[in-house]
Amino acid sequence: MKSKAPSIPYLIWMLLFTIIPLIMVVYYAFTDKSGNFTVQTFKDSLFYTDVFIKSLWIALVSTLLCLVLAYPLSYVMSRSSRRGQNILTMLIMLPMWMNFILRIYAWVLLLQNDGLIDLAVKFLGLDVPLLGNAGAVILGMVYNYLPFMILPIHAVMLKIDNSLIEASKDLGANKFNVFRKVVFPLSIPGIISGTTMVFVPTASTFLVAQYLGGTGDKMIGDVIENIFQRDKNIGSAISLALMVIILLFIIAMNKFGDEEVVA
């Protein structure tokens, strides 16, 4: 039980299938087709800066929307009975068990011409295409990743000691101040992990924009997939850039979280 040896198989596994593949990405990113060192791949990738920015923007909006939707729900959930909490948690997790592509496809069915929501909107006298724009992509993202925001916030709120709330009430804090001074600060770790868990997959996902977006809504994941079919080097360069951005984002979120806790 004192030995480190049991981890050896996994250490070897990590070397082979975590570290070496990443080295391969770096290697291909810095070489051309004949294997010579180059940074031309990154210069070529600059063309996709707009797509990059658009992906990050879509991810940001989706994350914020998730937060706005999830926060009150998590709060309400954490105030309900244990039985109610169990049922709600299960109801929120259940759709995640449906295959990811099918969940997106369901929105295509709803939003397409003469789909259920399209008919409802037309009934209200509006005739706008619901499918094929950034809004539909964001909707799909929020739908897909909302549970990833609700669950961590809820988990943190559960841990808030009820006596803290009672105490602040006894000290004369009104409902709003209880929330501002007690509940919100204590829920920040949940917000941070929820934000990371939503932002990272939304920024890098592929397929969602292909189904729900229009011709102008290509996301960086779709570009990577597409480019890899013919050019591994540029594809690796873009992947590397994406990885670095995501890593910086996670580091920033963690820093932010630490400072908050200290404050």
Q: How far is the CB of 30 from another protein (least distance, A)?
A: 13
Taking a C-beta distance cutoff of 8 angstroms, is the pair 82, 158 a contact? no
Stretch that binds another protein, among 35-43, 171-179, 180-188, 244-252 (CB under 8 A): 244-252
| Residue whose tokens read 């049991």 | 6
Q: How far is the CB of 84 from another protein (least distance, A)?
A: 8
Nearest-angstrom CA–CA distance, 258 and 6: 33
Site for another protein in 29-48 (CB under 8 A): 47-48
CA 206 to chain centre: 12
Nearer to another protein, 118 or 190 (CB): 118
Q: Quick check: helix, strand or coil at residue 129?
A: coil
- Shortest spacing between CB 132 and another protein, in angstroms: 6
Cβ proximity of 188 and 233 under 8 Å: no
The answer to whether 153 and 73 have CB atoms below 8 angstroms apart is no
Cα 235 to Cα 99: distance, rounded to the nearest angstrom: 27
Q: Map tokens 């995640």 to a residue.
A: 96
CB contact at 8 A, 145 and 62: yes
Site membership for another protein, residue 105 (CB under 8 A):
yes
Among the listed ranges 34-42, 170-178, 181-189, 203-211, the one in contact with another protein (CB under 8 A) is: 203-211
Residue placing its CB nearer to another protein in the complex, 230 or 263: 230
Q: Please report whether residue 84 would count as binding another protein according to CB under 8 A.
A: yes
Q: Does 86 bind another protein (CB under 8 A)?
A: yes
Distance between CA 14 and CA 150 in Å, rounded?
32
Interacting stretch for another protein, rule CB under 8 A, among 13-21, 60-68, 171-179, 255-263? 13-21
Residue 177 CB, shortest distance to another protein, in Å, is: 19
| Span from 18-26, 175-183, 187-195, 255-263 in contact with another protein (CB under 8 A) | 18-26
